[in-house]
Amino acid sequence: MSVLLDLKPVDIRFYEARLRGFLPDRMIDIHTHVWLDRLCRKRAADGRSVTWPSRVARDQSLEDLEETYRLLFPGKAVIPLMFTNIVEELDPQNAYVADCARRSGYPALLFTHPEWPADRLAQKLDEGGFLGAKSYLSYAPAYIPGNEVRIFDFFPPHQLEVLDRRGAIMMLHVPRPGCFRDPVNLAQLLEIEQRYPRIRVIVAHVGRAYCPEDIGDAFDRLAETRSMQFDFSANTNETVFDRLIQAVGPARILFGSDMPILRMRMRRICEHGRYVNLVPRGLYGDVSGDPNMRDVDPPESDAFTFFMYEEIDAFRRAAERNGLTKQDREAIFHDNAEAVLRAAGWPGRGSAAAKGTA
**pLDDT tens, residue by residue, 14-35:** 999 999 999 999 999 999 999 9
Asked if pLDDT for residue 94 goes beyond 80, the answer is yes
Alpha-carbon distance of 250 to 233, in angstroms, equals: 15
Using the predicted structure, report yes or no on whether residue 350 has a pLDDT greater than 60. no
What is the predicted pLDDT for the residue at 95? 97
Supply the pLDDT for residue 4.
84
10 Cα distance to chain centroid: 25
Q: For residue 2, what pLDDT is reported?
A: 60
Which pLDDT does position 47 carry in this prediction?
Answer: 58
Tell me the per-residue pLDDT of 239-290, one tens digit each, with 9 for 90 and over.
999 999 999 999 999 999 999 999 999 999 999 999 999 999 999 999 999 9
- State yes or no: pLDDT of 1 exceeds 80: no
Report strand pairing: 305-306 vs 26-33. unpaired
Q: Distance between CA 227 and CA 180 in Å, rounded?
A: 17
Tell me how crowded residue 40 is: count the other CB atoms within 10 A of its CB.
Answer: 17
Residue 352 has a pLDDT of 38
For all residues of the chain together, what is the average pLDDT? 93
DSSP assignment of 179-206, as one string? GGG-HHHHHHHHHHHHH-TTSEEEETHH
Average of per-residue pLDDT across 138-146: 94
Give the confidence band of 353 by pLDDT, cuts at 50, 70, 90.
Answer: very low
Residue 163: pLDDT over 70 = yes
Strands (E) located in the chain? 26-33, 77-83, 110-111, 132-134, 169-172, 200-203, 229-231, 253-254, 265-271, 274-280, 293-296, 305-306, 354-355
Position 349 scores a pLDDT of: 75
Residue 104 pLDDT exceeds 60:
yes
Peptide bond into 260 cis (omega under 30): yes
Average pLDDT for 284-309:
95
Portion of the chain with pLDDT greater than 90, in percent: 87
CA–CA distance, 248 with 264 (Å, rounded to integer) = 29
Please state whether beta strands 200-203 and 229-231 pair in parallel, antiparallel, or not at all (unpaired): parallel
Position 43 pLDDT exceeds 60: no
Q: In the structure, what pLDDT confidence band is assigned to residue 351 with cuts at 50, 70 and 90?
A: very low
- pLDDT tops 70 at residue 45: no
pLDDT at 39: 87
Q: Are 34 and 316 in contact (CB under 8 A)?
A: no
| CB burial readout 10-38, b (16+ within 10 A) else e | ebeebbeebbeebbbebbbbbbbbbbbee
| Domains of the chain, first to last | 9-264+309-355 (3.20.20.140)
Q: Rounded distance, CA 292 to CA 306, Å?
A: 17
